[in-house]
């Protein structure tokens, strides 16, 4: 199965994703080996690693996306999508994952927030 590629969000939601990214920076480094690149970080003029302290002290990216209706926030592989499903509680992200992947996708295994599939009851004869 292929990854969903880019994840699009409403510009007004970006602050939620940005704050989640700052809070989970160390966990991303430890578990993924690098932080997830977020497209609005390009407003800082770098495609390399962004330090969470830079984000805490500079809001250029927030000012740039404030009035954008829909923006691409990141482009992730399937393995990163699996990590995000376990670690990103933002509802709009979860909704995107539910639309992109089938309910039986291995990344949803053991995730309590994934709705159960409707199954027909088995009738005994």
- pLDDT tens digit sequence for 93-102: 999 999 999 9
**pLDDT tens for residues 69-98?**
899 999 999 999 999 999 999 999 999 999
Q: Is residue 54 part of a domain?
A: yes
The domain in which residue 36 lies consists of 5-108
Q: Is residue 53 part of a domain?
A: yes
25-32 and 14-23 helices, crossing angle to 10°: 60
Cα–Cα distance for residue pair 70/14, rounded to 1 Å: 10
**pLDDT tens for residues 15-55?**
999 999 999 999 999 999 999 988 888 877 766 678 888 88
Q: Is residue 117 part of a domain?
A: no
Cα–Cα distance for residue pair 54/44, rounded to 1 Å: 9
Q: Is residue 34 part of a domain?
A: yes
Domain count within the chain: 1
Q: Is residue 67 part of a domain?
A: yes
pTM metric for this prediction: 0.83
Backbone angles phi, psi at 5, to 5 degrees: 70, -125
Angle ∠(96,97,100) on CA atoms, nearest 5: 85
């Amino acid at each position: 199965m292929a990854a969903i590629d880019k994840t699009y969000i409403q510009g007004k939601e970006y602050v939620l994703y940005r704050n989640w990214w700052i809070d989970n920076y160390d966990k991303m480094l430890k578990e993924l080996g690098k932080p997830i690149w977020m497209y609005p970080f390009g407003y800082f003029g770098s495609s390399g690693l962004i330090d969470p302290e830079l984000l805490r002290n500079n809001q250029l990216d927030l000012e740039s996306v404030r009035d954008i209706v829909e923006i691409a926030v990141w482009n992730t592989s399937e393995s990163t999508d699996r990590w995000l499903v376990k670690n990103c509680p933002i509802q709009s992200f979860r909704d995107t994952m539910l639309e992109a992947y089938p309910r039986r996708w291995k990344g949803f295994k053991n995730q309590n927030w994934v709705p159960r599939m409707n199954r027909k009851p088995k009738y005994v004869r």
